[in-house]
Structure 1
Amino acid sequence: MNLSDLRGFVSSLAVITTVLQFLSGTLVCKQYVSNRTTAEASPLPFLFGIVSSGLWLLYGLTKSDDKIVLVNIIGVTLMVAYTIVFYIYTFKKSSLLKQIIIMVCFLLFVMGYVFVEEDNEELLSRLGLLACSLTLMTIAAPMSKLIYVLRVKSTECLPFPMILMSFFVSSLWSLYGFIEEDSYLIVPNFIGSVLALLQLSLFVMYPRISETSSLMKSIIA
């Protein structure tokens, strides 16, 4: 069996895991609701998720690709919902509002460009490159907490479900790109899978609860 025979299976699996990746954010938000705080968690995975899904949605609409459009409508909807939950439970509301304003302005700028650009091929190329870049930033967003994780020796602030799903999704889209001989899919998704794997290695190195938290719990008990 040749790799091209797996094209339909791999693309379907990539679509399904992408939707599951979006849904994995519900587990993260459930933790925020349960704890009544986002603690030191970063909103960047959700914000980059909105921008990345929004760009891929514009790409899908421009290309008239129903699969890309459907997947990213779901993505934008869920990421907006997660951001709202994050806003409710974060103690850094003003900082988050500034980030949201920047994100909205950026998306409006890109939408304006989409409407005025007449060269469809050029538009697809630029949207594709931009969407790929933002996808990498979405995957790498939890790395913004790397120094904090290394300092407290705890991965409690990292969204494990989202990082794990990022690894599977990036790996599948990279494989699909290899089958299609599409470097725009191969390069960013291969890098994305490596970044996600590096983040997952932190969960092996450090526990979910810091040593200080464990000590406090044992004292209270």
Structure 2
Amino acid sequence: MVSEQLNLIRNIVAIIGNGIALCLFLSPTPTFIQIVKKKSTEEYSPVPYLATLINCLVWVLYGLPMVHPHNTPVLTINGTGIIIEVVFITIFFVYCGRQKQRLVIAAVLAGETVFVAVLTVLVFTLQHTTKERSLSVGIICCVFNVMMYASPLSVMKMVIKTKSVEFMPFWLSLAALLNAGVWTVYALIQFDPFIAIPNGIGCVFGLAQLILYAAYDK
């Protein structure tokens, strides 16, 4: 009975988590509308979107039943995230006026694709149980999830330097904090360290961004 109740609570939290994660992925939409209108990326950075893309790619791999069973919410929301991030990165690439930055974006995208492809092949050829696959892919997911949450650090540095939050979207920071909080709860109900640890760290990064926003918002 207790186990069934925990599963029910976990599923409810997962649904809430999926909704908040979708908001997180879509939160830069006003920024990209502005980019399209101005036909310029100005001083916005592509790093958060590239980091989010690789994060979603490895989490989709982690959510596959052959890697980690009973993790469908992780699979579905990150699959959706891949589509959204590809759209955002494409827009950024089109309206980026610096050729050097375009080359960097293309190189990072190629590197991410190759990395995930090689990881997938290695996991399914060298490891033969879900326990082994969950461990290896889970560790990698932890690393990239922390990188995703930490990716705005470059923007935070600019905020401190310029004393302006113009290029640090508020809704992205808020959604990141809420997303990290909900997925931390999800992971703690039936303890999954690979989801709990990076999202716990994400809570710290998200809170730091909001504090910075409050300090420099004019």
TM-score range, shorter chain: 0.7 to 0.9
Does structure 2 conserve the Cα–Cα contact (< 8 Å) formed by 1:27 and 1:161? no
SS at match of 2:36: helix
Asked if 1:33 is matched to 2:39, the reply is no
In structure 1, C-alpha distance between the alignment counterparts of 2:183 and 2:145, rounded to whole Å = 12
1:186 paired residue number: 196
Q: 2:18 aligns with which of 15, 20, 34?
A: 15
Corresponding residue of 1:216: none
Q: Distance in 2 between matches of 1:32 and 1:55?
A: 28
Unmatched 5+ residue regions in structure 2? none
C-alpha displacement at 1:191, in angstroms?
Answer: 0.8
Using the TM superposition, give the Cα deviation of residue 88 of structure 1 relative to its aligned residue in structure 2, in angstroms.
2.0
Residue 212 of structure 1: aligned partner: none
| Corresponding letter in the other structure for 1:40 | E
Which of 40, 53, 61 matches 1:58? Answer: 61
CA contact (8 A) 1:163 1:196 kept: yes
Identity score, percent: 27
Question: Which residue of structure 1 lines up, in the alignment, with residue 184 of structure 2?
Answer: 174
CA–CA distance in 2 between the matches of 1:11 and 1:70?
Answer: 11
Find out whether 1:94 has 2:100 as its counterpart: yes
Please list the CA deviations of residues 184-221 of structure 1 after superposition, one character each: whole Å capped at 9, or x if unmatched. Answer: 2222111101101101111111126xxxxxxxxxxxxx
Structure 2 CA distance for aligned equivalents of residues 103 and 166 of structure 1? 22
Out of 106, 116, 119, the residue aligned to residue 122 of structure 2 is 116
Question: More deviation in 70-79 or 101-110?
Answer: 101-110
The alignment of Structure 1 onto Structure 2 pairs a total of residues equal to 207
Amino acid at match of 2:207: L
Moved over 6 A (4+): none
The farther-off stretch of 164-173 and 19-28 is 19-28
Amino acid at match of 1:57: V
Deviation at 1:93, TM superposition (A): 3.6
Structure with greater Cα Rg: 1
CA contact (8 A) 1:139 1:163 kept: no
- After TM superposition, give the deviation of residue 89 of structure 1 in Å: 2.1
CA distance in 1, matches of 2:34, 2:51: 20
Say whether the 8 Å CA contact 1:87–1:93 is kept in structure 2.
Answer: no
SS in 2 for 1:63: coil
The alignment's TM-score, normalised by the length of structure 1, stands at 0.85
Q: TM (normalized to structure 2)?
A: 0.86
